[in-house]
Amino acid sequence: MTKQAPAALSATPARRHLSRRVRLWIDAFGMLLPTILGVLIFFLVPLAISFYLSFTDARLFGEPNLIGFNNYQRALSDPTFYRAMWNTAAFSMVTLVVSTVPALALAVILNERIAGRTFFRAVFFIPVVASVVGVTLLWRYLLNIDFGFVNYVIRLFGFEPIPWLTSPEWGLISVILVFSWKTIGYNMVIFLAGLQGVPPQLYEAASPDGASRWQQFLFITVPMLSPTTFFVLVTTLINCLQVFDVPVALGLTRSNTIGPADSMLTIVPLLWREAFIGGRMGYASALAWLLFVIILLLTLIQFRLSRRWVHYE
Amino acid sequence: MASTILRRPWERLLAYIVLGITGFVMVFPFIYMFLSSLKPSAEVVQVPPTLWPSEVRWSNYLEVLSIVPLGTQLINTIIVTVLVVLGWVLTSVLAGYAFARLEFPGREWLFGAYLATLMVPFAVLIVPMYRLMLVFGWVDRLEALIIPWLFTAYGTFLLRQFFMSVPRDLEDAALIDGASHWGILFRIFLPLARPAIATLATFAFLYAWNSFLWPLIIISSPARKVVTQGLVDLQALYAARVDLIMAGSTLAVLPTLIVFLFAQRYFIEGIATSGLAGR
């Protein structure tokens, strides 16, 4: 490579070099072709159609007509939309705590040298891999007001049974519990990977200086773990905003409400109901873009904040 | 790794109590689900509940397969899952290699744009995808559950990261011998990438097996539905037969648990890797 080619031969390697480069481009194009076609047909085209539809009165069938910002205005004056927004916000905020704090605590324990680490890690991970719809129907049974196991235990302790799935006050709490039960193991594994990335020398340096274990945790572990924490919070929040399976499998009723009095109704179930039960596809597209904008804004804000409080190595 | 938090014996005891209670909460529902699926239908709704079935009724499983075509739906789910897993692996290997190893103009830009697609919520795509399926004539057909879902930005990212870590010397030697990039990919890189492919395959399996929203929209014939839809139908039509619903849920959950048992390492590595992407 570094040696000069003899002058007489220099034309040929240059041409060979060019043809090799062209061949490389052709190879690259061939390898990327399935992905490019997929993204084009099943992502970019639908994305553009969705944006267009959000400004139309599209129904299940028939030609859509442009109606300007009507769908967006309608959403902003629709009490059901606000109800779904409020439910989504409340669900996300509580789940953000309930599915991450226990996950961090469990990860800290499992990061210790104790017997049965891999066993417990696997056990906590089982709900993550199990079919969402399957386990949600299971919880529908466990949380039943009359014969559910959870209320049986509550009665054993002498309390009144809780109408988890039958009262509007408890509906969203049940969604939070089932969703968090399923997510804790996932977040725990990410925290565990983050904890194992903290260099042990840091602790060794701190111990002789008389740093207490709490001080070590607060001033070494927490800052070193902040990129992981940040990642867990952002992904959990984005998943929460898009929750669909749990509220629908837990709360769908014959009259197509999600939970009693729509108490489990979040944004994506509302969008699904508007589009595929109500047939209002234009309106549903506008709801989708409102959700998209919210997710984009939150992502941007989170990244801006991360610069301030996330410690990168 | 260093033990820094738990030093005293009572702290360790407390840790085990926390682990034990949490483990119980995570696993007991599954045990209860399985045991309930074997009980007579009156026993699952009795108060106080029983743990062990008074008589073991395997026939519940036969009954659930006959009242909802759950057997056919399981086969549909298997077909869809196998093809989606193969598609994810193939497209990710090809694209991951091109992004990691072939220097073509606009590569970084294209890869960044592909990753950015992950930010778009799936909800944005469901309405236009439904209309696209109408145009293609794929509404209520398994094609709709397979063909649009054969590619993945996550998998491409995973394989690209892996391929970037392979030393250059390997392919330089092969290039000098006149091997093509396709040859290098399939003969040198593919065998090396087995662990990354296993991780990706387990993720694709989970994703395809558990998918619910898209099938709910696009498939309406009972004989073409997937197992998650079958379960929801079962709940809607036979809400009183909890024994059958538990048998159906067991059938839906069991394959993922079996796969997890054998591929645990890959699941956990895959998640840890996606977590490191946040760094």
What is the mean predicted confidence (pLDDT) over A183-193? 92
Closest C-alpha to A176, from A98, A102, A242 = A98
Please indicate, yes or no, whether residues A36 and A181 belong to a single structural domain of this protein.
no
pLDDT above 50 (res A6): no
Question: How many Cα atoms are found within 13 Å in the side-chain-facing hemisphere of A106?
Answer: 29
Please report whether residue A62 resides in a domain: no
Class of residue A99 by CB neighbours under 10 A (exposed 0-12, middle 13-18, buried 19+): buried
- Same domain (yes/no): A149, A245: yes
Lowest mean pLDDT among A140-154, B18-32, B251-265: B251-265
Q: Kindly report whether the peptide bond that precedes residue B29 is cis, defined as omega within 30 degrees of 0.
A: no
Same domain for A47 and A80: no
Provide the pLDDT confidence category of residue A100 given band limits of 50, 70 and 90.
very high
Residue A159 structural domain:
74-309
Residues 224-263 of B with CB under 8 A from A: 227-228, 231-232, 235-236, 242, 245-246, 248-250, 252-253, 256-257, 259-260
Same domain, A41 and A133: no
> Residue ranges of the domains in chain B?
59-276
Rounded to an integer, the average pLDDT of A303-312 is 68
- What CATH number is given to the structural domain containing A230? 1.10.3720.10
What are A216's two structure tokens?
Answer: 């070590």
What's the confidence (pLDDT) of residue A19?
A: 81
Chain B residues close to A248, C-beta within 8 Å: 212, 232
Percent of chain A with pLDDT over 90: 68
A160 and A38 in one domain? no
How many independent structural domains does chain A possess?
2
CB contact under 8 A, B128 and A45: yes
What are the tokens at B37?
Answer: 């699926």
Question: A with B: how many residue pairs have Cβ under 8 Å apart?
Answer: 308
CA B11 to chain centre: 37
Q: Are residues A292 and A191 in the same domain?
A: yes
Of B102, B107, B252, the CB nearest to A134: B252
Q: A34 and A95 in one domain?
A: no
Does residue B70 surpass a pLDDT of 70? yes
List pLDDT tens digits, range B201-214: 998 999 999 999 99
| B9/A211: higher pLDDT | B9
Q: Is the pLDDT of residue B3 over 70?
A: no
What's the CA gap between A116 and A308, in Å, rounded?
38
CA distance A245 to A228: 26
CB contact set of A84 (below 8 Å; sequence gap of 6+): A262, A265, A266, A267, A269, A270
Q: Is A34 on the interface with B (CB under 8 A)?
A: yes
Task: Give the rounded percent of residues in chain B with a pLDDT score beyond 70.
Answer: 96
Pick the CATH number of B59-276 from 3.30.460.10, 3.40.50.1220, 3.40.50.2000, 1.10.3720.10: 1.10.3720.10
Locate B187 and state its tokens. Answer: 């003969």
pLDDT of residue A10: 46
Residue ranges of A 115-174 with Cβ closer than 8 A to chain B: 116, 120-127, 129-135, 137-142, 146-147, 149, 152
Task: Look at chain B and count its residues.
Answer: 279
Higher pLDDT among residues A231 and B278, named by residue:
A231
Domain-located, residue A66: no
In the predicted model, what is the mean pLDDT of residues B101-120?
92
B27: closest CA of chain A, how far (Å): 7
Query: What average pLDDT does this structure show over B241-256?
Result: 95
The residue type at A71: N
- Residues A152, A153, A159, A164, CA torsion sign: negative
With respect to residue A167, please indicate whether it lies within any of the assigned structural domains. Answer: yes
Q: From the CA of B73, how many Å to the nearest CA of chain A?
A: 14
**A15 and A83 housed in the same domain:** no
Interacting residues of B73 by C-beta distance below 8 A, sequence separation 6+: B222, B225, B226, B227, B229, B230
B111 — pLDDT class (breaks 50, 70, 90): very high
Angle between helices B242-276 and B194-210 (to 10 degrees): 140
Contacts with A113 (C-beta within 8 Å, 6 or more apart), sequence order = B1, B3
Residue A300: inside a domain, yes or no?
yes
A190-199, A206-215, A274-283, B51-60: segment of lowest average pLDDT: A206-215
Identify whether the C-beta of residue B29 lies closer than 8 Å to the C-beta of residue B14.
no
Tell whether A130 and A185 lie within a shared domain.
Answer: yes
Is there a single domain that holds both residue A184 and residue A107? yes
Q: Are residues A130 and A169 in the same domain?
A: yes
ipTM of the complex: 0.91
Instruction: Check whether residue A152 and residue A268 sit in a common domain.
Output: yes
Please tell me the predicted confidence (pLDDT) of residue B174.
80
> Per the CB < 8 Å rule, is B90 touching A275?
no
Nearest CA-CA partner of B234 in B246, B223, B224, B221 = B246
Q: Would you say residue A57 has pLDDT above 80?
A: yes
Cα B193 from Cα B158, distance rounded (Å): 10
The Cα-based distances of A218 to A110, B5, B233 in angstroms read 18, 11, 50
In a domain, A208, yes or no: yes
Among A131, A276, A298, A302, the residue to mutate for chain B (most B Cβ within 10 A): A131
Each residue of B128-173: pLDDT tens digit? 999 999 999 999 999 999 999 999 998 999 899 889 988 888 788 7
The DSSP letter of residue A6 is P
Quick one: pLDDT band at residue A311, thresholds 50, 70, 90? low
pLDDT of residue A231: 82
CA distance A280 to A60: 7
pLDDT at A309: 62
Residue among A210, A133, A226, A137 at smallest CA distance from B216: A133
Mean pLDDT of chain A: 89
In a domain, A63, yes or no: no
